[in-house]
Amino acid sequence: MKKCIFILILLATIISCSTASQNIASNGNNNASSKKTNDTVRIANDSLEYEVIIIDNGFNYWLNSMAFPRNYHSLAFLENKNYQYVTEWNNRVLQPNRYNPNLYEMTIDYQPQIHYGYEVNYLIYNYMIYFQNTYKQKLAGYVPLR
């Protein structure tokens, strides 16, 4: 059976819409709203049988315009940061009274002993950076402002 890592970040429609409208209102840029629709990123590594799916308005645009380019960080760096971020993320999912359950809806099955490959780690890392900057969250340590 195919092993999958699914990251389905389905933020409540109210939060997504209010965040998008706040960005449009604050930036006054109507082009940004058109770039935030139909935003799904999927990376599949068939040889390793792992897959990442991210659904979050604005992430694809952010990934293409703001993220560090591929191979900027080493695989070891990405794996280390992803482990830290995912551990904290999963802790917050388990505490819905303390952390917003609309932001932390489901756990992420990321196991550090499994080598997911560069693309999967790159995508997870960049989503975590995007998430922290967009929703004003701090999962672990220093968060780049990119």
> pLDDT truncated to tens, each residue of the chain (146 aa)?
344 444 333 333 223 433 443 443 334 444 444 344 456 666 555 565 677 788 888 999 999 999 999 999 999 999 999 999 999 999 999 999 999 999 999 999 999 899 888 999 999 999 999 999 999 999 988 888 76
How many Cβ atoms are within 10 Å of 76's Cβ, its own excluded?
Answer: 9
Q: Can you read off the two tokens belonging to residue 47?
A: 């040889």
- The verdict on pTM exceeding 0.85 is no
Dihedral over alpha carbons 2, 53, 13, 144 (to 10 degrees): 140
